[in-house]
Structure 1
Amino acid sequence: MKSIAAALAATVALALPAHAEFQLDSRYQDADGDLVADIPTDESQLVDPDTLIFAYTPVEDPAVYADVWAGFLEHMEEVTGKKVEFFPVQSNAAQLEAMRAGRLHISGFNTGSNPIAVACAGFRPFAMMAAEDGSFGYEMEIIAPANSDAGEIEDLRDGQIAFTQETSNSGFKAPSAILKSEFNMVAGEDFEPAFSGSHDTSILGVANSDYQAAAIANSVKDRMIEREVISADQIRTIYKSQTFPTTGYGTVYNLRPELQEKIREAFFSFPWEGSALQEEFSKSGEAQFIEITFKDDWAVIRQIDEANDVSYDCQ
């Protein structure tokens, strides 16, 4: 894990453009220039639901994470005075559509889908998990089966590399940019791409030799090893990136401002000690929520999107 300053300083290694194009969908306003949708000033546009819906990023087994987040959601109920329900999402697309349609109020969007959620779904991220000392982040790794002949990226030329989803930073965007800029390898030309749907599936696929290699977030890999879903000796890392920000947590833009403040309070007042959240996320080093800004902390991700010619046009 690295500090915010160190993580952003490391972006020079990718030789990416200095500024990424970013614009919110026309349904949102950004008068203060912080790159996220403003809270509406027109009372008729604000919502105050009796039940708040929360979603974590898509994972292989959502039921596991429903239990992990249960205590946190109980804490949020106490702070907000609202009922809070866990919504198990199956894909980034479903998660984005749910927030854009008003069916999802609070969410953790993974690193790569954060800019799309901000631009197209009115997502206002404000928190991220971090270690006790405030350091944060994960690295993208390209992994291969331990018994594979592939010892470096060049060994994958004319082979296969598995990705997760096109909205994932470490599962697609960052490795695509790195493979092109550092190794002159382009999907469909220099290797065959495959899409697994999730980091869990990619990691399991490599561990079981179903994939020749896969681009994954090492925070997910570390938790799977800790849970003994796989063993460390089943896989081998052949590339490790700079440090990236982790899942960003926030609210949809049009919740009443005082409710948004209560939700923020719930995140930053949550007692980690002895919680299921601590038990799960301490496996990848997290121990608290820290405050973040999309404009600063996701700058490197917007640069990666720019390098990949990603469009934020909302359908």
Structure 2
Amino acid sequence: MASIPLLARVALVVSSILATSPAFAESFKLDPRFSDANGDMVADTPSDPAKQIDPDTLIFAYTPVEDPAVYAKVWAEFIDHLAKVTGKKVQFFPVQSNAAQLEAMRAGRLHVAGFNTGSNPIAVACAGFVPFTMMASKDGEYGYEMEIITYPGAGVAKVEDIKGKKMAFTSETSNSGYKAPSALLRSQFHMEAGKDFEPVFSGKHDNSIIGVANKDYPAAAVANSVMKRMIARGVIKPEQVVSIYKSQTFPTTGYGYVYNLKPELAAKVKEAFFSFDWEGTGLQKEFKAAEPPQEKFIPISFKEHWAVVRQIDEAMGVSYACK
């Protein structure tokens, strides 16, 4: 699945959102403390060597979509490989929320990370995140969809049936867990949170999915990649949930490093991702259940691959002002 066709498929949805949205927020821009001389929309490495960092221990964090303890094991072989290639100690940091992950990088406590689709632009703008890769199948296909799910017997056979009921979102920084479904509900179904339905926030995709499966929420917006992995692990049964809406395809979690890493170290971090052998690892076991299967890391451009996400942010009135 090449990136240009992906963006083209989403363009119609985005056009609908933009056409029915209120006044836009300011266009994407980096925090004033960063520079972008080459126009690639990510922070440049400081030209002053004194402002570059070369930590003895690299801190790595995966986006907090599910149980951090599970993912510490999933990433174990990669962590070892990253340590070998960079010559650094590497520590897995089990972040509990998107906000905590963003603040950790902004404060200099996080050096390499995977930020989810929706929080990528905010991480780039406010934390100096430099994404350069994401997972894909062996033939380069990638992406996931936002699905609105319910449970059998909830009285929700179609999206319009959510009116008057609770709907679970994950967090306000999530693309599939909040921003995309909110924009789509407004543009396609003329439904507003707080007016037509009661929004509740679960914090994570797995919380929303389990909440629906356990009949705590009559509906929820989730990333179907997370749901498929949870079904594959037996966390929930397929018959516990019913999908009533599926979006176009979005890019997946973007992986990268903090902007002020010493250039030689940043190059080694890139090398570690692209030279990692997935065969027989926890990553392969966990992510092969995705559709398409995620089996390698491919190069990406924040400017190109996250264009549609920035458009949704603009339609939702998202501000990139760093607090």
TM-score tier by shorter-chain length is over 0.9
Alpha-carbon shift at residue 305 of structure 1 (Å): 0.3
Name the residue aligned to 1:311. Answer: 319
Task: Please give the secondary structure, in 2, of the residue aligned with 1:224.
Answer: helix
Query: Which of structure 1's runs of 4+ aligned residues deviate more than 3 A?
Result: 16-20
Matched, 1:132 2:131: no
**Is residue 217 of structure 1 aligned with residue 223 of structure 2?**
yes
Q: Structure 1 stretches of 5 or more lacking a match?
A: none
Q: Please name the residue that 2:48 is paired with.
A: 42
Q: Could you tell me which residue of structure 2 aligns to residue 6 of structure 1?
A: 5
Is residue 200 from structure 1 mapped to residue 206 from structure 2 by the alignment?
Answer: yes
Letter in 2 for 1:84: V
Deviation at 1:17, TM superposition (A): 4.1
Please tell me the residue identity of whatever aligns with 1:212: P
Q: Provide the C-alpha distance between the structure 1 equivalents of 2:65 and 2:305, rounded to a whole number of angstroms.
A: 23
Q: Alpha-carbon deviation of 1:157?
A: 1.2
Aligned length: 314
Aligned positions of 1:18-29 closer than 5 A: 21-29=27-35
> Within 2, Cα distance between the matches of 1:251 and 1:12?
29
How far apart in 2 are the matches of 1:218 and 1:3?
20
2:288 partner SS: helix
Q: 1:59 — aligned with what?
A: 65
The one-letter amino acid of 1:210's match is D
Amino acid at match of 2:87: G
* 1:203-227: CA deviation from partner (whole Å, max 9, x where unpaired): 0000011001000000000000000
Match of 2:99 in 1: 93
Q: CA deviation at 1:39?
A: 0.7
What is the deviation of 1:4?
A: 1.3
- What is the SS of the residue equivalent to 2:318? coil
What is the percent sequence identity of the aligned residues? 64
Write the mapping of 1:106-185 to structure 2, written as runs, cut at 5 A.
106-185=112-191
- After TM superposition, the score normalised by the length of structure 1 is 0.98
**What CA distance in whole angstroms lies between the structure 2 residues aligned with 1:10 and 1:175?**
17
1: distance between equivalents of 2:6 and 2:164?
Answer: 32
Report the residue type matching 1:42 in the other structure.
D
Q: Tell me the secondary structure at the aligned position of residue 184 of structure 2.
A: helix
Distance in 2 of aligned mates of 1:106 and 1:181 = 36
The unaligned stretches of length 5 or more in structure 2 are none
Name the SS for the 2:146 alignment partner: strand
Question: What is the distance in 2 between the residues matched to 1:145 and 1:17?
Answer: 31
Amino acid at match of 2:307: A
Contact 2:11–2:308 (Cα < 8 Å) also in 1: no
> What SS class does the counterpart of residue 31 from structure 1 fall into?
coil
- RMSD over aligned CA atoms reads 1.2
